[in-house]
Amino acid sequence: MPSIKSLILQGEGVMLDFKKTITSTEKIAKSLVAFANNKGGKLLIGVADDGSIKGVKSEEEEKYMILTAAHQFCKPAIEPYFEEIYVDDKLVLVVEIPESDTKPHYALDHEKKWWAYIRIDDKSVLASRIILEVLKQEYKNNGVLISYSDNEKKLLEYLEQNGRITLKEFSKLLRSSYRKAQKVLVNLILTNVIKSHTTEKEEYYTAVR
């Protein structure tokens, strides 16, 4: 594993998150779930957002909160790995969350509702219905055979000309229900023909180049 300092220099990203301290089990559950639903990741506890090392006051307390979040606020439960590392006499707690093979994971919010999250850049973002379908099927059908019907051809031609498409535009293009359009998108994401992009406002798809 690279040194903590070189990890911190990379800054927060898809597989790395800094937490000065754990303030709530709900918030931490959201990060754990986003990493497990993605490619895994590390939480550095005792490191501020700007990368300065503050150190952990009580690692037992932090571990207890993380394990409570992982076991009671995540479903299916998540098993984090802990490592304690001293940097300049300050203790940093490294929490590693492996990529899960029981996706999708959901986190419990303060209103007692379960939501699935994924990691996009340095944020944990709510997973859309399409992404949820992709997560559910990723491990089930490792051999999705895709036969290009007119629907797929229409989509790829559209992307060739316009560069991107949303679910709404695609169902309009097919003159079909969202559900049918969604199915085509999910299969093409699973077979790595298109990829999904999520922003604060919308979700759209582009061809994989």
Instruction: Write out pLDDT tens, residues 10-24.
Output: 999 999 999 999 999
Instruction: Provide the pLDDT for residue 2.
Output: 67
Segment 169-189, tens digit of pLDDT: 999 999 999 989 998 998 888
Three-class SS of residue 167? helix
Three-state SS at 177: coil
pLDDT, position 200: 75
Beta bridge partners of 126: 117
Amino acid, single-letter form, for residue 181: A
Task: Provide the pLDDT for residue 139.
Answer: 63
Report, as ranges of residue numbers, the positions in the chain whose pLDDT lies below 50. Answer: none
User: How long, in residues, is the chain?
Assistant: 209
Composition of the chain by helix, strand, coil, percent to 5: 35, 25, 35
Residues 6+ apart with CB under 8 A from 51: 8, 9, 11, 18
pLDDT number for residue 159? 95
**pLDDT computed for residue 190 by the predictor:** 82
Q: Where are the beta strands (DSSP E) in 88-159?
A: 90-97, 106-108, 114-120, 123-126
CA distance 170 to 174: 6
Q: Which domains does the chain have, with CATH numbers?
A: 4-126 (3.30.950.30), 134-207 (1.10.10.10)
Contacts of 103 (CB under 8 A, 6+ apart): 36, 37, 135, 136, 138, 139
